[in-house]
Amino acid sequence: METRPGEAIARGDGETGREVPGNRRGDRLADAPLVARDRASLAAARAALPSPVGLVPTMGALHAGHVALIDRARSECASVVVSIFVNPTQFGPGEDFERYPRAFEADLAVCESRGVDVAFAPTIEAIYPPGHSTVVDPGPLARVLEGAVRPGHFRGVATVVTILLGLVRPDRAYFGQKDGQQTVVIRHVVRDLGLPVALSIVPTVREPDGLALSSRNAYLTPPERAAAPVLSRALRAAADEHARGERDADRLRRRMREILAEAPMGVPDYVSVADAETLGELDVIEGPALLSLAVRFPSARLIDCWPIG
User: Which residues make up the interface to ligand AMP (CB under 6 A)?
Assistant: 58-59, 65-66, 68-69, 175-176, 178-179, 202, 204-205, 212-215
Out of 66, 153, 188, 242, the active site residue is 66
Of residues 128 and 174, the one with the C-beta less far from ligand AMP: 174
Least distance CB 63 / ligand AMP (angstroms) = 7
Of residues 253 and 301, the one with the C-beta less far from ligand AMP: 301
Q: Determine the angle formed by the axes of helices 39-47 and 153-168, rounding to 10 degrees.
A: 50
Least distance CB 21 / ligand AMP (angstroms) = 33
Least distance CB 111 / ligand AMP (angstroms) = 13
Least distance CB 261 / ligand AMP (angstroms) = 25
- Cα(101)–Cα(93) distance, rounded to whole angstroms? 17
Contact 302, 228 (CB under 8 A): yes
Least distance CB 186 / ligand AMP (angstroms) = 9
Contact 87, 157 (CB under 8 A): yes
Of residues 34 and 186, the one with the C-beta less far from ligand AMP: 186
- Which of 173, 152, 146 lies closest to 162 in space, CA to CA? 173
Name the helix (H) or strand (E) containing 237: helix 230-243
Give every CB contact of residue 283 below 8 A, 6+ residues apart in sequence.
Answer: 248, 249, 250
One-letter amino acid at 231 equals L
Task: Locate the DSSP E strands across the chain.
Answer: 10-11, 34-36, 53-58, 79-84, 118-120, 172-176, 198-202, 267-275, 289-296, 301-308
66 counts as catalytic: yes
Of residues 65 and 229, the one with the C-beta less far from ligand AMP: 65
Least distance CB 176 / ligand AMP (angstroms) = 2
Which contacts qualify for 146-153: CB closer than 8 Å, 24 or more apart? Answer: 146/181, 146/182, 146/294, 146/303, 147/181, 148/270, 149/269, 149/270, 149/294, 150/92, 150/95, 151/92, 152/89, 152/90, 152/92, 153/90, 153/91, 153/92
Of residues 41 and 87, the one with the C-beta less far from ligand AMP: 87
- Cα(30)–Cα(306) distance, rounded to whole angstroms? 35
| C-alpha torsion 278→281→285→286, nearest 10 | -30
Of residues 58 and 79, the one with the C-beta less far from ligand AMP: 58
Residues annotated catalytic, as ranges: 66
